[in-house]
Structure 1
Amino acid sequence: MSGGAWAAPGRVNLIGEHTDYNDGLVMPFALDRTVVATASRRRDGVLRLSSTGTGGRYETVELRVAELTPGHGPRGWTDYPAGVVWALREAGCPVGGADLHYESTLPPGAGLSSSAALEVVTALALDELYGLGLERQRLAGLCHRAENRYAGAPTGIMDQTASACCVEGHALHLDTRDLSRRQIPLDLAAHGLCLLLVDTGVKHSHATGEYGRRRAGCETAARTLGVRALRDIGHEELPEALERLPDPGIRALTRHVVTENRRVERAADALTTGDPRALGPLLTEGHASLRDDFRVSCPELDLAVEASLTAGALGARMTGGGFGGSAIVLTPLPERAAVTEAVRRAFAEASHGEPGISPVQPSGGARRLS
């Protein structure tokens, strides 16, 4: 195949935050906002990456495929697609040069996995251009390796799997230990409900030290408790486990991961039994845990949650890695306008920038466009 166009979506994580790198449970769904790649093969071993950047500025970088090495290229957005090419070649896939031009409707730094969408659309384009025949989970795994090893961001595998494997109208229940997947119908409108996405405008980066320190703390806890990962601590075992952890910060990280895994299970049960309103308290509990135990929230996220609940929302929480980004709000449809106005008014009164607020619905995963 000589060329074509492909799209990969960002994701909203309904529940299950900072559990994926602890071998835990997550439940994201794909957004209708995507990164689109127009791609064609080259025969000269050159990887030419271009995009329409901030303010409409056209950016282009050329790299030699054979010279791609983690830590030795230009730092920035091109690390993600370049890392995918490196990971494919490291896995023995016969990938050569390519022209790849990107356009995106995903805001970077909003906690919606724009980097994973960029990786997945690159991998899908190269998979088809070079006839690799990669299964979707394998493709996601190589993108995850690219983000960890090449881009230097210590994330789990949830984002890439969501972008590659989600199904329209469903949330993806993913066990990140064995990578088993279950598509759970998510039709909130049929129950008179709406899920709002609140983009606070506060940017974040997974490659910063704070995210890595949280992951390292979780790994320290697992070693101290003598388990492979915090996934292995059941909810009923939590009190005893916490007593064995002398550091209060490590205890708090552990408490969040164990209780968050339980919240994912309860959320899946709520959706499976046709009771999506029960998601509300789980979202709010999850936000309190992320704010107080994992300490990855920020004033703008906390304000979005507080204002939403005061205005009649059933539940709300930050979504994504934290330190900025977006919140999600579960609200009855009749309260949607009031909740939206309450959040905007609260941000204005606090002298924050105006948040972006829009309804979201589960969309399909990565796909070929033409």
Structure 2
Amino acid sequence: MVMTAVEHRTDVHDWNVAWSRDEGVARAQALFEEAFDRPPEGVWAAPGRVNLIGDHVDYNQGLCLPIALPHRTYVALAPRSDGRVRMVTGLDDGQRWDGSLSEIRPGGVADWVAYCAGPAWSLLRAGIDVPGFDLAIASCVPMGAGLSSSAAVECAVGLGLAELAGHPMGDDAGRSRLAQLCTEAENQVAGAPTGGMDQAASLRARTGHALLLDCELDTVTHVRLPLEDWGLELLVIDTQASHALSDGQYGQRRAACERAAALLGVDSLRQVAEGTDPECLDAVLSMLADPVLARRARHVVTEIWRVGAFVSALGAGDLVRAGRLMVQSHLSLRDDFEVSVRELDVVVDAALAAGALGARMTGGGFGGSAVALVPASAVRTVASAVMAEARRQGTPPPVIHRASASGPAERLL
């Protein structure tokens, strides 16, 4: 997927900050008017996300704990009466597409077009009479960084198209439905076999809170995250090791989990997590003759347990324990699920050595970003240490973001 690139900075004191609301609206609106010679009917925005803990459990019906980022994708939209679709992104080379609604289907479009236009297909399949449309996209969500740039564009486009079609999805029930439709679009049109965590975070988050998502029940609980009161900050460290969710590796992990669940006689590995005492887990997993399947299942089950323990630790103000759980999660993703890469391990280890309470890779893996829970007084020390270690190890210079728990997708104009 290709959209507006974020400027890469290597000075750790020059933080990569999100656009302001007004700046994002102005960029999308100006791009629209330049491309289509008319004003948009509205501008919608949706955030990227960073997952604090609970990766590769959404498609296993587990629990995860993301926050919405202040970094957002902005889309300017206007309907058309002829069934045509015209799209433009804010890249320097002016990515454009001109087609029809009938072309937007699995196998009909690919690459960035599939992500940007895919929600139209899902909405139409759901019986929502989406018109043709003109669309301009601008984004400050880092691309290929494991921060859900794809879900951000899907949710912004989906929210806008639903409203243009006379079906605004403003309440939580509507947003839950829209998250499912955007996930379907990513799975079927874009061919990325992800779960629904990213779309749920983008549409159902709350400012100042983490989103505890139960992927089996599709319920959310907003967990207070008063980082400033605790004297803490979150650093999101983009390793610059780009990843893709449609290259087969993500799908292989999902297939392995489904195979393990079938062999264990359950519908999902969530049932193993709920029905197994920790001391009995090895015995349960010994039923899987394939050691790779056993490792994949071990990660999912223990990760679901860690999410619950992490939420309890936050509620008790036990931030040291929360940090330890983040580290355990990273080790599990690295060793049992095998989705970490050297660049991620370098920045996680460096952050911990420099004073972070916890650090872990976040997202689908095979590149992307890490997240670190850091005392506010040590933020610059940790950031400097991460940059220095990356230089020493010969890995790309990371881009470091100071993150906060932001609000959900919304109409801005």
Question: Do they fold alike, i.e. is TM over 0.5?
Answer: yes
Counterpart CA distance in 2 for 1:102 and 1:182 is 31
Cα displacement string for residues 92-142 of structure 1 (whole angstroms, at most 9, x for unaligned residues):
111110111000001111000000001000001111111113311011110
Residues 123, 162 of structure 2: 8 Å contact kept: no
Query: For residues 260-299 of structure 1, what are the structure 2 equivalents within 5 Å?
Result: 260-299=303-342
What's the offset of the Cα at 1:51? 0.4
The answer on 1:254 being equivalent to 2:290 is no
Query: For residues 325-344 of structure 1, what are the structure 2 equivalents within 5 Å?
Result: 325-344=368-387
What's the offset of the Cα at 1:274? 2.9
For 1:321, which of 346, 359, 364 is the aligned residue? 364
Q: Quick one: which amino acid aligns to residue 125 of structure 1?
A: G
Q: Quick one: which amino acid aligns to residue 113 of structure 2?
A: T
What's the offset of the Cα at 1:62? 1.2
Report the equivalent of 2:203.
Answer: 164
For 1:97, which of 111, 118, 132 is the aligned residue? 132
Report the equivalent of 2:69.
Answer: 31
Residues 3, 39 of structure 1: 8 Å contact kept: yes
More displaced 10-residue stretch of structure 1: 31-40 or 230-239: 230-239
Residues 313, 339 of structure 1: 8 Å contact kept: yes
Report the equivalent of 1:147.
Answer: 186
For 2:147, which of 90, 107, 112 is the aligned residue? 112
Give me the identity figure in percent.
46
More displaced 10-residue stretch of structure 1: 230-239 or 103-112: 230-239
Counterpart CA distance in 2 for 1:277 and 1:33 is 28
Counterpart CA distance in 2 for 1:316 and 1:273 is 20
Residues 314, 331 of structure 1: 8 Å contact kept: yes
What's the offset of the Cα at 1:63? 1.8
Cα displacement string for residues 128-180 of structure 1 (whole angstroms, at most 9, x for unaligned residues):
11111331101111000000111110000000000011000000000001101
For 2:347, which of 272, 297, 304 is the aligned residue? 304
Q: Quick one: which amino acid aligns to residue 87 of structure 1?
A: S
Report the equivalent of 2:232.
Answer: 193
Q: Quick one: which amino acid aligns to residue 88 of structure 2?
A: S
More displaced 10-residue stretch of structure 1: 255-264 or 304-313: 304-313
Q: Quick one: which amino acid aligns to residue 287 of structure 1?
A: H
- Matched length: 367
Residues 104, 114 of structure 2: 8 Å contact kept: no
Residues 188, 276 of structure 1: 8 Å contact kept: no
What's the offset of the Cα at 1:313? 1.1
What's the offset of the Cα at 1:3? 1.0
Q: Quick one: which amino acid aligns to residue 162 of structure 1?
A: A
Residues 167, 365 of structure 1: 8 Å contact kept: yes
Counterpart CA distance in 2 for 1:252 and 1:142 is 31
Q: Quick one: which amino acid aligns to residue 113 of structure 1?
A: S
Name stretches of at least 5 consecutive residues in structure 1 with no aligned partner.
none
What's the offset of the Cα at 1:81? 2.3
Counterpart CA distance in 2 for 1:304 and 1:246 is 35
Query: For residues 173-252 of structure 1, what are the structure 2 equivalents within 5 Å?
Result: 173-234=212-273, 235-236=276-277, 237-252=280-295
Cα displacement string for residues 20-40 of structure 1 (whole angstroms, at most 9, x for unaligned residues):
000000000000000000100
SS at match of 2:343: helix
Counterpart CA distance in 1 for 2:411 and 2:318 is 35
Counterpart CA distance in 1 for 2:390 and 2:103 is 47
